Amino acid sequence: MASGNTLALFDAVDGAPPVTLGATLTNRPGASTPVELFLVWGFNSGTDSYLDFRGVMPQHYAGGGISCRLWWGAASATTGDTVWLAALRAFEDDADDIDVSHTYDFNTVTDTAPSASGEFTVAAITFTNGADMDNVGAGDFFILRVGRNADDGADTMSGDGQLLAIEIRET
């Protein structure tokens, strides 16, 4: 597959919070008539929180690096930075046990809040191939865990960061 092509798309409804430290599902109404409804996941500024997306890596994935593009906005803030993080967990056919503990190895990006509440921006978190992405290969079931590192000193945005969607691209 060519670099830059989309491998997967996840909408807010595709996310599932982990049992502990989960993001909160909320909504943002649009301003058209009739009013659109945008489901978003709220990531609190005071506590680290996470969200899981499950998928199968497409067979046409060529095995290179990927970029996770997070479409996000702010519940109320118009300044400050948010530290986003993402990690992958691979489940190879008849090899990985869901009942065994796994340590997620996060990659991060610090991104600036959009200039107005109600606007969304894109933060990209990149992974090289192989161990950097838990060796997820073509045809593998995986979990993409995203989160906000609220206690990182670089995370200066007040209020919730709101995640709208994620695109995974091959790099």
pLDDT in tens, 21-73: 999 999 999 899 999 999 999 999 999 999 999 999 999 999 999 999 999 99
In a domain, 69, yes or no: yes
pTM over 0.75: yes
Distance CA 76, CA 69 (A): 22
Note the pLDDT of residue 115.
96
Bond into 114 cis (ω within 30): no
> Six-digit token pair at 8?
């997967």
Nearest to 146 by CA among 65, 92, 89: 89
Q: Domain containing 97: what range?
A: 6-170
Torsion of CA 161, 169, 95, 99, to 10 degrees: 10
Question: Mean per-residue pLDDT for 87-103?
Answer: 85
Distance CA 96, CA 41 (A): 29
Assign 144 a pLDDT band (cuts: 50, 70, 90): very high
In a domain, 100, yes or no: yes
In a domain, 1, yes or no: no
Task: Quote the number of domains for the chain.
Answer: 1
Note the pLDDT of residue 94.
80
User: Residue 115: is it exposed, middle or buried by C-beta count within 10 angstroms (0-12/13-18/19+)?
Assistant: exposed
CATH at residue 81: 2.60.120.260
Note the pLDDT of residue 97.
79
Assign 3 a pLDDT band (cuts: 50, 70, 90): confident
Note the pLDDT of residue 1.
52
